Chain A
Amino acid sequence: MSNSEDKSNDKSNPESPKVGRRGFLKGAAAGAAAIAVTPAANAQSPSSYETTLSAPTYQQIERDTGMITAPSPDRSVLRPGSDLIVQALKDMGIEFVASNNGSSFEGIQESIANYGSPPNYMPEFITCLHEETSVDMANGYGKAEGKPMCAMLHGTIGIQHAAMAIYQAFYSGTPMLLIAGRDDGFIQAHTANDMAAMVRPFTKWDAQPKTLPECLDALHEAYRQAMTPPTGPVLVVIDMEIQKEEARDMVVPAFQPPVIDGIDVATARDIAQSLLDANNPRINVGQLRTPEGVAAAVKLAEVVGASTSTSATQGPMSFPQRHPLCGPGADTNNDFVLGLESESPNISLFRPTVESLTQSRDDMGVGFGGMRTNVPASGRGAPRQRPGTVMSIDAEGSIPVITGEAMRLISANQKSKIEARKANHASANQSAYVAALKEAVAEKKKGWDLSPVSTARIYAELWPLIKDEDWCLASPSNFSGGHHRQLWSHNKPYSYLGGQGAAGMGYGAGACGGAALAARGRNRMVVNVQTDGDMNYTPGVLWSAAHHQLPMLTVMHNNRAWHQELMFIQYLAGVRGRGTDRAHIGTTLRDPFIDYAKMAEAYGMAGEGPIEDPTLLAAALKRGVESVKNGEPYMIDVVTQPR
């Protein structure tokens, strides 16, 4: 980006708060209305600002609550800047803008609603009841599709509501475009000189363009930044003046998609040769970036006849679990292993993650809080080194180069050996799968008929109903037992979207909504096994799902508790010798119980329950699947065992 204000390396920002052009014209009266900010000597430290807070003016409140009409414009705008902004979003293939409305982006919102033919399409405005939901939706969509959708936020306050969801998307490395409206002439508390600063430590990149051409450039660059490893959320702050200015005959520049580097040809050739020379090569596959990357990994494995591992039961964008090459293989003695975003004793390729941004952006020490890849997952203990030769390069961008070299180098003799090996792998992997499934079923049927319903039974009863559908499990599954890992087959890049990112509760329902946005036009359905604690942070997502007719089946894992925390308190009370009979205080959702079918009904979503008798479950799930296939989201409240 040439001339916009890229704040990513600008930590000092010593300027005093600027007076916007509009504010300047209005003069001091408007400036004094809400917050008078007096920069003191050291403007870098927030505490050195002297602020005088006063309530919004009568006129401001009147306008915000729709009591008066806006003043007539001093000119009629024929081609508002926000139309060009929306055109830029169209050009980049942004399907949805999820947002809770706010006047700081009213120009863009109006353009989404009215510009284009048809209007409100690519992007479509997705009405959210909370900014956390907007961003969680973008997170679910981004994980499922491997590309950004947009969440639009209202000034300082919208960004703050969105903050945790942005934080989690950052941890997950989910590509996402955030737009924040900025209007320094209206309610002063909703604006700030540098509002992106609030989320800078956990966004990849941000900009606050000063002109419309800069803004269009910034949006393009934002997309490229979000998609280029390290992938993650990016934020463009867009001033009201830019949204409302007359663009006259300005053209939206052509969008240049990102070019993502892979390994060089010589290294690719070495790897290809090693794969071809090996008697029993293997490819370990972690989380790639896009569905195209997954397809490329499948092709490479097929060309060289390698058995593969997958992380598809842990998260999105990995090798199809039931592909004949996926599994332990006919012989687990591997003489060459290639790791694609996954460890290997020989060579592994890992793309840079957002951890690498800590130097340039992380004032708050997010990196210290667990971003680092070289510490054990539990957070304590000695740094852990990855084995073998580790190349810091995008695996997905490298796979086609390796495959190309392998196809060029492969001999006829190798080809026939590879075909025989593939057949052996296929039958071995099938046997291994059947054996593992038998074992899993024996385990999961424990307590099958008991009430409350076992968590395993929810996943077990779901599988026959969805296995022939195109499904996406978008809810984190650890708290509900993760039984899909053993019982379901994860064959699509979006089969399972993984955890919250930073273990922040409240993510699940919104992420499922976003995955369902992706699913809606693709004949896919989203399964949401929804924990009750998580549901209650932003339940308004149920309304958004009903309003936008999202194909989302929500099955409550209603254990009537923040159960994880209950167990923690129990243990602590135990070691303190004080008994566990009061551990329910603050950790349970009882007295009264929450009725989720009624909650769904209140938000306009069909539903039923609470179901305590497990024999009623399968029929309810069937009704749910049918409803969702007909384009109506559905909620089934199931009272469950705690874990």
Chain B
Amino acid sequence: MKNLTLFVILAFLLPVTVSAQQMGPVTGDAENGALLFYQHGCYGCHGYSGYGRQDLNNTGSAILTNEVIFRAYLRGRQNVAPLLPSTAMPNYPANVLNDELVSNIYAYIRSMPENLPESDEVATLRAILESAQEPYTP
């Protein structure tokens, strides 16, 4: 467990990215995971679909490599409150999210659709990029 925690910490600190092929299997129920993702307020920082203050989609984050690492990460967050309010990732001990529920949330995260259209194909984004060429008028 200790080694795993260390690995998770390292995985978080180092700019390690993991490709889709390297990722572990999904065993949980994504549908239930979606519900938990809402109920436990994960959307608060990660958006309803994995884009937000802290993206989950396509980040290649090592934390999402497999269920074991993901679970260790949730369990290994800070558990002493600093005096200042914080919007950092909360801690999730087993008594509030058991292993099965964690697997379900993991399954939901892994099922999140990518949504990054080509800029050229979206009129608004094209217009924004074109506007950069317009001369400055005071």
Contacts and interface: CB of A to CB of B under 8 A. Distances in A.
Contacts of B85: 568, 571-572
A581 interface: yes
A641 interface: yes
Contacts of B13: none
Contact of B86 (A446, A450, A568): A568
Contacts of A537: none
A464 interface: yes
A264 B86 CA distance: 47
Contact of A434 (B40, B48, B96, B132): B132
A323 B127 CA distance: 20
Nearest to A579: B96
B99 to A, nearest CB: 15
Contact of A442 (B57, B86, B119): B119
B128 A487 contact: yes
B19 interface: no
A244 interface: no
Given A445-B119, A491-B136, A577-B79, A464 B92 contact: no
B53 interface: yes
Nearest to B50: A447
Contacts of A450: 47-49, 51, 115
B81 A575 contact: yes
A643 B50 CA distance: 12
A464 B96 contact: no
B90 A580 contact: yes
A581 B127 CA distance: 42
Contact of A463 (B49, B81, B84, B128): B128
B52 A642 contact: yes
Contacts, number: 144
Interface string A536-563: 0000000000000000000000000001
Interface residues of B, number: 49
A contact residues, range: 35 or more
A121 interface: no
Contact of A643 (B53, B89, B97): B53
A575 B78 contact: yes
A437 B129 contact: yes
Given A577-B96, A581-B40, A445 B116 contact: yes
Given A449-B115, A491-B136, A643-B45, A575 B124 contact: no
B31 interface: no
B92 A452 contact: no
Given A571-B87, A642-B43, A577 B95 contact: yes
Contact of A448 (B53, B87, B117): B117
B131 interface: yes
Contacts of B119: 441-442, 445
Interface in A455-485: 460-461, 463-464, 467
B128 A643 contact: no
Given A573-B90, A584-B41, A641-B47, A618 B124 contact: yes
Given A575-B79, A641-B48, A448 B136 contact: no
Given A445-B117, A446-B55, A446-B116, A320 B45 contact: no
A570 interface: yes
A26 interface: no
A580 B119 CA distance: 37
A576 interface: yes
A322 interface: yes
Contact of B117 (A449, A579, A583): A449
A567 interface: yes
Contacts of B125: 441, 445, 460
A571 B51 CA distance: 19
A298 B138 CA distance: 10
Contacts of B90: 570-571, 573-575, 580
A381 to B, nearest CB: 12
B88 interface: yes
A417 interface: no
Given A447-B115, A448-B117, A578 B52 contact: no
A498 interface: no
A575 B53 CA distance: 20
A438 interface: yes
Contacts of A433: 132
Interface in B35-62: 39-41, 43-45, 47-53, 55, 57
15 contacts: A322-B136, A433-B132, A438-B129, A445-B116, A448-B117, A450-B49, A454-B47, A567-B87, A568-B86, A570-B44, A572-B85, A575-B80, A575-B81, A577-B96, A580-B96
Q: Would you list the 3 A-B pairs with minimal beta carbon distance, nearest first? A: A574-B90, A579-B96, A447-B51
Given A450-B47, A641-B43, 10 more contacts: A441-B128, A460-B128, A467-B131, A491-B137, A572-B81, A577-B95, A579-B92, A579-B96, A581-B96, A584-B41
Interface of B: 39-41, 43-45, 47-53, 55, 57, 77-81, 84-93, 95-97, 115-117, 119, 122, 124-125, 127-129, 131-133, 136-138
